[in-house]
Amino acid sequence: MPIEFAKYQGLGNDFILIDNRHSSEPAITPEQAVDLCDRHFGIGADGAIFALPGQNGTDYTMRIFNSDGSEPEMCGNGIRCLAKFIADLESSEIHPSQPPQASAGSESKTEYRIHTGAGVIITELRSDGQVKVDMGVPRLLAAEIPTTLAAPDAKVIDVPIEVADKSWSVTCVSMGNPHCITFVEDVSAVALETVGPQFEHNKAFPQRTNTEFIQVVRSDYVKMRVWERGAGVTLACGTGACAAVVAGVLVGKCDRATAVELPGGVLEIEWAEVSGRIYMTGPAQLVFTGCISD
């Protein structure tokens, strides 16, 4: 049975979006997602995202299969793309292969509560085309990440780890998915394809980890490169940018409001002091639509 899809990207982090509102189970399998995400023999993407019916009072449920078939708890750039996809669907109530057309006199919804494996995430579509996401409260205890780099009830801040025959100082943060952040002098000098997999599969991370390499330009502006768990080198990582700013604040290198420059563009991150919540703002754009046939 043919499946309509739309491809969206957020700072070059690209995804296959599927309207899955008719079922609580994804329309394709993880194995099929691997084939579709292949950049030579498939559509090409960092992952496949499904807009499923909401749960427990939420508007929608998000599930995502990475390009290697694994299923992460959440994806920051992906949820911005999902919010834009949902808005486009709702404004037209037609298949994504047709251009969205809002009804005369109708007002598109701008805020969605989305159920994810990392909890309920609230997205807001702004009038300037950016999508602002309430990413919730970061988790800092070793057991929450999870990692064995510290006692389960302790934070992992500036802790040494041996990776690729080198000692790195790392800070670990969970945004509902695990992140290991290290600060370097020059992000362009990091051999990401070599070092990234060794961080991801290090025995200190029982559920593997995303790894962010951060270069501080100013306290309110950093450069970041990322190795994503299950996807490898990507042009951007929303949860990683959030985790990086949290880590930067914890080690005294970043302001609570910091711009994060990634290879695909810039994300604005704010870690609110009173509520402790993280807010991420960035773009999400439709690339093209199509149909998956047998």
Show which residues are catalytic: 75, 237
- Longest Cα pair distance anywhere in the chain, in angstroms? 63
Report whether 267 contacts 260 (CB < 8 A).
yes
What gap in Å lies between CA 235 and CA 226, rounded to an integer? Answer: 8
* 73 to 79, 82, 199, 275: CA distances (angstroms): 11, 14, 19, 23
**Complete DSSP assignment for 53-99:** EP-TT-SEEEEEEETTS---S--HHHHHHHHHHHHHHHHH-S-TTS-
CA dihedral 258, 116, 276, 279 (to 10 degrees): 30
- Give burial (CB, 10 Å; 0-12/13-18/19+) of 125: buried
